[in-house]
Structures are given as structure tokens and as C-alpha cells.
Structure 1
């Protein structure tokens, strides 16, 4: 069977039709070039060139083989590129978990970055709450996640990709909606819609801390797991609710978002991964996020 080196020598000679010029391009002398061509012709059991003292010409078999040789070399070069890109994490598959709230603004941004710079990487999405993501990361069922829980070293690595201020969602027909800035005391005795302590524990605890820090007893009337569900209940007039500012991206009719005069409270969003997962695409994706979101080490 012939070697790729022989195919390369054949194609250069087929272009130059001159042993001296072809040998110079290949950085060798004419003798080893002639030997490469002889070995190739022996493997194919057919002459590829007509040679005499004046010129070199391709035989009909040589003309037919030139096209095939180009395809073989192109496939070989592509195979090298594919392997290299997989080993560098620029190709292959990346399984990504995400919370519903992250899909309003931050997930589309990351996917857009990847579609431009990691075109050969297939990203498979799975919507799941943060606790499910942590379990899936540890079990290597997903490769990266967008969740609210801070990374838990040494098993889980992560970087903070967003910090969102908590805003108050109010029905647009409510008297509080007419005010551009509210006091936390305005919520005393107000019906509060909050997140589920099971599926939305991060936000549930964060919101509960707001009331505790301000010595208020919240009057919870509903607990649901998703931001859009909370906004729907606010729109229905069942109460008011604290939501992260990414809720602004939903442009929910009948609901206005207002800042509350208090010590600012923020919800963090993290890009998470398992440090024991061998998928090379993980760190490539993480580095892309770092670069495009301009994340520094201080934001880990």
C-alpha cells in the first residue's frame, strides 16, 4: 500500500512535470523523488508518468489518479484537523444544563458566542433546576451548567457570569406601580408570591433573607418554581414578588418592576462544571465565556 508521502510527491511532480523543480519544492534531491514515484507505481501496478530526456508527462492512469490522490490527501488532512479540534475541545459534544431564568438573557448570549467561535462543537441543552444540575455534573450526565449555586470545590469548578439585582414585581394597576422607588416597609402585610422551597430554594432563601434582614414577617400566598409563573400570578393580582432583574427581558404585560430602597440584594449566576469530567470541550467553553464576558479571576 502506498504512503501519504508518496501521494504528495506524486502531486507535486504532476504539477511541475519536471523532476528538478518538483524535488526543489519537496526539499529533496531528484534521486529520492524518483524512488518515491517508483514505489508508488509499483504499489499501483501501473506507470503514472511517461519519462524521457526532454520532458515528463502524465499517463492516462496518472491523470485519473491525480484526482483521487487529491481527495485522499484532503481527507487525511481533514482527519488530522478533526482529531486536533476534538482534543482541543473545539469539536465534539457539550451537554449543558440551564435554569429557566438563565434562558431569558444569559444562555442565548453564551450560545451566540459558541456558534461564532466553536462552530464544530455540538451543544445539547437540558433545562433543569440548580440542584438537579449539581447531581448531573457529579454523575457526568452533563458537562457544564448554568445554575445559581456557587461552585463547591474541589469537585465542582465554576465562575460567576452574572450578578442580578433583585427587583419587586408589582401589578401595573397596583398603587405601588405608580411609584418609581419603593421602601421595604411598603411591603408590610402585603401578599407575597415567592419561589418554591424545593425547586427554587436559592431564590426562596434569598428572598426570605430580605424580609428577615429588614425585620418584616412576609405574608406568602403562593410558592412556584419559575420566574414567568411568578410574573403571571403577579399580573393576576395575587400579590407582589421579588425577581431577578433578568425578568425585564420577558416584557411581561401587566407587570412593572421597581427597585426597593434597601441594602441591595443580588442573585448570582454561575457557569459550573465537574473537575473530574475529562471532556476537553469543557475548558474550551469556559475560556470562551471568560474571554467574551470579560471575567477576571476575582469573579470566580
Structure 2
């Protein structure tokens, strides 16, 4: 039988690189750990790792069980944390995953008032789940997913909480700075700056350039909003961002916002959560507050 301690051992070996280090982290002797894992290998009839010099390399069976450990153990640990909090009279914790680079600034507007209203609930924001949030929801690594592009799947419910417009951002000296609306053809010679996101997930391509059969001259990737907008303000390129975010940064950086096409590009921020979690009071309260908060 595969027990939880077997999975914890596999995870520790993968994290720390050796049986000695894994045993130390798990507060076991190396001989006890090795004996337990040898018994498991005998039981399943397959080795879990092999030596490669001083390193341990997982076999296919070991890789499979390691994947199982990485999916299941966070659920055990989260459940234990929640039960401990309940025993102490606390409500719990809310883990929020981000699947949207600029949504972090929006989320800050919600988290502050929420913490005031729910002092017994801790909020943890996990940005490492950008663009992999559905898996994080199903594996119980997060409780809420913030995304502008919900992927509808059984077991997950999405609520639209914030409407906004995607706009083109240019610097104050850009030739288009005085325009209200921009057409795809006007950007053929431009350097487009985006976050490190696949082109098929970028609205500026899927809803603006590609339908018109146009591509910008260059495509530059920058991870941080601050640097991106400094580059735009300096005339080093253009970007497509939420209008509310441009307005916020426009207080300190000189920028111009243009509508993308006559109809514009309308977007929404969604909060996704597991359907069986509907009715949890502090989760429902976060969704409701997110609907009420508006960007000034």
C-alpha cells in the first residue's frame, strides 16, 4: 500500500536532491527512510529511482508517484491547516491564483477592504499560477482564480466581477498620440510590447491584428508593467492594456490611451472557484466585494 509518508519522501528527495537531506527534512534517519522505500519498491515491483553519480534520478514509476505526491499532498496540508484554524476559532484562509499580469493591481483594491471586513480570514495571492490556474483549482492549490479568459469546465464556476476596455497605449510624442481611435493598419511599423504570454492568448492579436490580416513590425516581451509603460512613454513601442490600469499609471507617467478599432475591445475580470465551494461565506463575500469595488 502506498502511504502518505511514501509520497512525502518522494517529494523531499526531489526537492533536496538526496536521501540524506530528505531524511533530515522529514526528521528520520537515512536508514529508516531507505528501508521504508525499499519495502515499497518490493511491494509495487518496480524501482523508484536510480543513482546517476551522486544524484538520484527518478524512474518512470518514481516520476508517476512524484506527480501524485505533488497533486495530493497540498490537499492534505491545506485540509490540516483549515481544521487547525477551525479548532482555534478561525474561519480559514483564501488562496487566490492570478492568471492575468495586470490584474494584480486590481486585486489590491479588493484585498484591503476584504481583510478589514473578514479579520479571521488570511488571504494568500499566488502569482506562480499565471496561465495554469485551472489545474491549480482542481488540485486545490488555490481557492479562487482571477482571469480575464475563463475556461469553462465541469466542477468550476466563474463569476464576472469587473468590466473594462482594452486600449492601445502610446507615448506623448507618438504620431498617433492625438488620435481617439486606432486601426490595425496604422500599427504595421510599430514595436508592440506585451507581457510574456502566448500570442493566441493576447487580445491585441486575436481580436485586432489577426482579423485584419495585419502584424506589427516587431514584438517585444517585458514582464513588468512599470518597465513596459516607461518604454511606451519614452517612445520605444506601444502596448495594449486595460484602460483602468493606464489611468492609474497616467498619474505619474505621461501616456495616451487610444481605442482599438471603432468598436473597441471590451473585457471582463472573472473569479473562478470550485462549484462545491459555493456557499462558503468568506469566499462568497470576496466575490461580492469584487463586484462592488470600482476603479477610480
| Same fold per superposition (TM over 0.5) | yes
Please say if 1:271 is aligned against 2:271.
yes
- For 2:285 and 2:212, the matched residues in 1 are separated by 40
2:258 aligns with 258
Cα displacement string for residues 79-121 of structure 1 (whole angstroms, at most 9, x for unaligned residues): xxxx9x959x98211111234411223x123213312321211
| SS of aligned partner of 2:231 | helix
Match of 1:222 among 213, 220, 223: 220
Displacement of 1:182: 3.6
Please say if 1:209 is aligned against 2:207.
yes
1:163 aligns with 163
Verify the 8 A CA contact 1:144 1:272 in the aligned structure 2: yes
Cα displacement string for residues 153-194 of structure 1 (whole angstroms, at most 9, x for unaligned residues): 313221111222111111112121133444444223333223
Verify the 8 A CA contact 2:204 2:240 in the aligned structure 1: no
TM score, norm. by length of structure 2:
0.59
Q: 1:196 to 1:262 in 2, by over 3 A?
A: farther
Please say if 1:152 is aligned against 2:152.
yes
Match of 1:245 among 243, 246, 265: 243
Displacement of 1:280: 7.0
Q: Which has the larger radius of gyration?
A: 1
Verify the 8 A CA contact 2:159 2:272 in the aligned structure 1: yes
Map 1:1-300; keep pairs closer than 5 Å.
Answer: 91-98=91-98, 99-105=100-106, 107-198=107-198, 202=201, 204-248=202-246, 249-251=248-250, 253-275=253-275, 281=280, 284-290=282-288, 293=291
Verify the 8 A CA contact 2:230 2:253 in the aligned structure 1: no
- For 1:228 and 1:113, the matched residues in 2 are separated by 25
Verify the 8 A CA contact 2:209 2:215 in the aligned structure 1: yes
Give the total of aligned pairs: 207
Verify the 8 A CA contact 2:193 2:238 in the aligned structure 1: yes
CA RMSD of aligned residues (A): 3.3
| SS of aligned partner of 1:289 | helix
Displacement of 1:220: 2.8
- For 1:226 and 1:262, the matched residues in 2 are separated by 29
Q: 1:266 to 1:128 in 2, by over 3 A?
A: farther
Q: 1:209 to 1:103 in 2, by over 3 A?
A: same
Q: 1:179 to 1:144 in 2, by over 3 A?
A: same
Q: Structure 1 residues 205-214 or 265-274, which shifts more?
A: 205-214
TM score, norm. by length of structure 1:
0.58
